[in-house]
Structure 1
Amino acid sequence: MTEINSTYVLIPGAWHGGWSWRPVAERLRAAGHRAVCLTLPGLGDGDDPAGLGLEDAVDHVVSEVEKLGTEVTLVGHSWGGYPLAGAAHRLPGKVSRVVYYAAQVPVRGRSLVEDNPPEAAAMLRGLIDASPTRSIPPTLQWVQGLFMQDVEEATQRLVADLLTPQPGAYFLDALDVPSVAELGIPALYILGQDDRALPLPGAEFAARLGLEPLMVPGTHEGMLTHPDEVAKAILNG
């Protein structure tokens, strides 16, 4: 059980901005907590994704936490597990807990692309190489087939329109830090029952933290479709 008046810093996944966490954040606030939804560099509306690397995302998380002046729980969705891990190592004494929601748990020295099966890795590299900004554009097909296959087409199209190109180096860069599990910070891994988007089974990512996943309803976008259940898991998991 979390403490009353905790501060949650919510880190979005690839192609997403802070908007994706807002339904969950509102529920955390209603429970008496502080919730801050981050939008990482290059992923805001109209941002230029060119020239950004993973360290820029990590720097942003660290800077925003330091501004808060209090201990925080870092919550990462999907690719957001990478900047979460990088930031946690640079914030000694400032992170009281980490929560991975349908998130990738990095291995030291291995990028997200390298953590994908070979065919998917080759596809991602090809998209980056083909882009003049070396970014990966979002597609409606990914939303419909991988991210939120359980909702009507109008909702899928709306979410696809909200997504922004992902800076390619966010996927190509690796972290040179040990596992978050080695920090001794309490951790939680939450997984949607119908998640299709992760490159490996969610249980395998949870096992990297020495955990079993806490299952909640929904797909990879459960923070939008099932915010009550996701917020409850974050608070009580």
Structure 2
Amino acid sequence: MTQYVLVAGAWLGSWAWDEVAAQLRAAGHGTHPVTLSGVADRQGVSAGQQTHVQDIVDEVERLDLRDVVLVRHSYSGIPVGQAAERIGDRLARVVFVDSNVPAEGQSFASAWWEGPAKLQASIVANDGFWAPLAAADCDGQDLTDEQIARIVAGATAHPGASLTEPAVLKRPLGELPATYVKCLLDGAEPSDDVTELLAGSRWDLVQMDTGHWPMFSRPRELAGILLDAAGK
């Protein structure tokens, strides 16, 4: 039985995986959605990026999980990418769902499309947090009005320190067994760093014709991809 550890991206908690987790459980697998410190039902907990790495490692070790598939979305690709190398032979595979990937000494803000200074200024202006999603951020992402309303209602401010702390990697990321899921409505091609990783022998690419939040827009299809990834 595969054990799926599901980690949402910025602003969202474990609840974001409800529909995907139900599909995985119905297929007979263990599911363990994680809420990172400082967001959703864990608001008020001080958190940097390494706190989030430890959140994931602690979940695996606390439950003594084996044959683990770590699934990460968006921002959480950075802490999960670091956690993956720290859980050793417990890891079966990592699945990056339209997510960032960590680079030694670099932060989430380092690769922010408007530049790190812009994101850092936004965090400072919001008392150390990244302001939560608004409905306009979800436009054009294959989401119904109901799905957008659910995402926005559940989104909470995200701790800024987790976005500006640098990643710490002990080995090349390309050595991890990984699947990268590219959501085409959020950009037709993976970023340059992901493209470089996909050129190696241990990373596979899967494309989804949907937007950045497939756990809401296409939960059955995403669950199927996760089930396939576990068999690789």
- Give the 3 Å change call, closer, same or farther, for CA 130–90 of structure 1 in structure 2: same
Shift of 1:140: 1.3
Shift of 1:142: 4.9
The answer to whether the Cα contact below 8 Å between 1:105 and 1:208 also exists between their aligned partners in 2 is: no
- Rounded to whole Å, the distance in 2 between the matches of 1:96 and 1:30 is 20
Q: Which amino acid is the alignment partner of residue 140 of structure 1?
A: A
> What is aligned with 1:101?
97
> What is aligned with 2:35?
39
1:124 paired to 2:116: no
Task: Could you tell me which runs of 5 or more consecutive residues in structure 1 were left unpaired when the two chains were aligned.
Answer: none
> What is aligned with 2:192?
204
- Rounded to whole Å, the distance in 2 between the matches of 1:77 and 1:8 is 13
1:155 paired to 2:147: yes
- Normalised TM-score (structure 2): 0.88
Q: Which amino acid is the alignment partner of residue 172 of structure 1?
A: T
- Normalised TM-score (structure 1): 0.86
Q: Which amino acid is the alignment partner of residue 216 of structure 2?
A: L
- Rounded to whole Å, the distance in 2 between the matches of 1:104 and 1:78 is 6
The answer to whether the Cα contact below 8 Å between 1:217 and 1:226 also exists between their aligned partners in 2 is: no
The answer to whether the Cα contact below 8 Å between 2:10 and 2:158 also exists between their aligned partners in 1 is: yes
The answer to whether the Cα contact below 8 Å between 1:143 and 1:160 also exists between their aligned partners in 2 is: no
Q: Which amino acid is the alignment partner of residue 192 of structure 1?
A: C
The answer to whether the Cα contact below 8 Å between 1:82 and 1:106 also exists between their aligned partners in 2 is: yes
- Give the 3 Å change call, closer, same or farther, for CA 213–203 of structure 1 in structure 2: farther
Shift of 1:120: 4.0
Q: Which amino acid is the alignment partner of residue 137 of structure 1?
A: A
- Give the 3 Å change call, closer, same or farther, for CA 8–212 of structure 1 in structure 2: closer
Identity %: 31
- Rounded to whole Å, the distance in 2 between the matches of 1:158 and 1:122 is 30
Count of aligned pairs: 223
Shift of 1:65: 0.3
> What is aligned with 1:61?
56
1:195 paired to 2:186: yes
> What is aligned with 2:133?
139
Task: Could you tell me which runs of 5 or more consecutive residues in structure 2 were left unpaired when the two chains were aligned.
Answer: none
- Rounded to whole Å, the distance in 2 between the matches of 1:139 and 1:16 is 9
- Rounded to whole Å, the distance in 1 between the matches of 2:42 and 2:90 is 32
Q: Deviations over 1:18-45 (max 9, x none)?
A: 1111111111111111111000101123
The 3-state SS of whatever aligns with 1:45 is: helix
The answer to whether the Cα contact below 8 Å between 1:192 and 1:217 also exists between their aligned partners in 2 is: yes
The answer to whether the Cα contact below 8 Å between 1:193 and 1:218 also exists between their aligned partners in 2 is: yes
- Rounded to whole Å, the distance in 2 between the matches of 1:27 and 1:179 is 32
> What is aligned with 1:52?
47
- Rounded to whole Å, the distance in 1 between the matches of 2:135 and 2:107 is 24
Shift of 1:46: 6.4
- Rounded to whole Å, the distance in 2 between the matches of 1:109 and 1:151 is 35
The answer to whether the Cα contact below 8 Å between 2:143 and 2:216 also exists between their aligned partners in 1 is: no
The 3-state SS of whatever aligns with 1:235 is: helix
1:11 paired to 2:23: no
Q: Which amino acid is the alignment partner of residue 204 of structure 1?
A: D
Q: Which amino acid is the alignment partner of residue 25 of structure 2?
A: R
Shift of 1:159: 1.2
The answer to whether the Cα contact below 8 Å between 1:106 and 1:179 also exists between their aligned partners in 2 is: no
The 3-state SS of whatever aligns with 1:93 is: helix
Shift of 1:207: 2.2
- Rounded to whole Å, the distance in 1 between the matches of 2:219 and 2:158 is 24
